[in-house]
Amino acid sequence: MQIKDLLKTHKEFVVMLIIVIAFFAIVFIRQDAKVSINITDNQIIEKKVADYQPILDSIEAKSFYVYDILNDKSLFSKDEHLKLPLASITKLMSGLVVLDVMPDTAIITINNDDIEMEGDSGLVIGEKWKLKDLLDFSLISSSNDGMHAIASLLDNYEIMNGENTVKMMNEKAKKLGLDDTVFINETGLDVNDNMSGAYSSAYDISLLLKDILKNNPGLISSTNQQTENFVSESNVKHTATNTNESINDIPNMISSKTGFTNLAGGNLAIMFDAGVMHPIIIVILGSTVDGRFTDIVKLAKISLEKLSE
């Protein structure tokens, strides 16, 4: 091979070597830039979480879960699978199984056993109610009398074949995949000083509300009202006042259900619209009688902020 050819080959080798080195240099620089960008993104995310943390730390509830139905994701949570006494949030499931079996036009007569339940919601012995009206009244005002009357009618319904309301509630919970949930009675009232009438988790109640919204929204259609007037079939007038004191503090409320017993403390489950057809569920368990309302407003506020990011 002549010297001229050797020089030409050498130059080609050098050029190829430079191209290879340049290629790997570019790859390295891009990778380094990618790592830098990722680090920056993570720092931003951590900062946003840190911004919410003081509010989250101030929540009194033992457990909470904020669920974005549209995007099928959790926005905020704390011990969402912790099984806690459910109190009157139980009535959501009671009403659901009743409507699975009975027409909402069925007539219910209030009897002495109903009136003897804890609390006085103004029902009268012998008074007749249409099922849908009594359900709305009982859910808004959290009437134990009314829900007991509804469950008693279902227990004696001719097609039950040995079934009863509480058994159906537990079967429904299993069907919906509510693995943290068990019902002992239809109201959620404490059975005694050591046993609640129902146990569930914030996560499970969010699933229950999601199912109700999808398959039986009429059950909760009146629970976003501060007050509602009713006239029973016996022409007795009643006014139901919502037990959720924060009902007007959160815009676009879809539904609301409170719960309180000595064992449960303060519970509250709501659903509100964060935009057009963008329902958000917030469930709070194990707060205080007043703390549940401030807790829910705080979580609703930061949920809206998070969604606007």
What pLDDT, in 10s, does the model give residues 174-190? 999 999 999 999 999 99
Whether residue 98 sits in one domain with residue 190: yes
- The total domain count for the chain is 2
Whether residue 78 sits in one domain with residue 32: no
d(C-alpha 235, C-alpha 168), whole Å: 32
Whether residue 131 sits in one domain with residue 14: no
pLDDT confidence bin for 159, thresholds 50/70/90: low
At residue 163, the pLDDT reads: 74
Residues 201-220: pLDDT tens digits?
Answer: 999 999 999 999 999 999 99
Average pLDDT rounded to a whole number, residues 20-49: 44
- Domain membership of residue 210 (yes or no) is yes
d(C-alpha 187, C-alpha 168), whole Å: 14
Whether residue 32 sits in one domain with residue 171: no
DSSP state of 309: -
- Domain membership of residue 175 (yes or no) is yes
**Does the pLDDT value for residue 256 go beyond 80?**
yes
Whether residue 162 sits in one domain with residue 81: yes
**Does the pLDDT value for residue 129 go beyond 80?**
yes
At residue 248, the pLDDT reads: 95
Whether residue 136 sits in one domain with residue 107: yes
Whether residue 35 sits in one domain with residue 180: no
- Domain membership of residue 53 (yes or no) is no
* Structural domain containing residue 33: 1-41
- Domain membership of residue 49 (yes or no) is no
- Domain membership of residue 48 (yes or no) is no
At residue 26, the pLDDT reads: 43
- Domain membership of residue 220 (yes or no) is yes
For residue 248, give the CATH number of its domain: 3.40.710.10
- Domain membership of residue 116 (yes or no) is yes
Whether residue 14 sits in one domain with residue 159: no
Residues 3-34: pLDDT tens digits?
Answer: 445 444 555 554 454 554 554 444 444 444 33
Number of residues in the chain:
309
Whether residue 6 sits in one domain with residue 142: no
- Domain membership of residue 146 (yes or no) is yes
- How many other CB atoms sit within 10 Å of the CB of residue 262? 10
Whether residue 157 sits in one domain with residue 22: no
Give the helix ranges, DSSP H, for 216-262: none
pLDDT confidence bin for 35, thresholds 50/70/90: very low
Whether residue 153 sits in one domain with residue 199: yes
Give me the half-sphere count of Cα atoms (radius 13 Å) on the Cβ side of residue 133. Answer: 21
Whether residue 186 sits in one domain with residue 120: yes
Alpha-carbon distance values, 293 to 68, 163, 264 (Å): 20, 37, 15
Cross-strand partners of 229 = 239
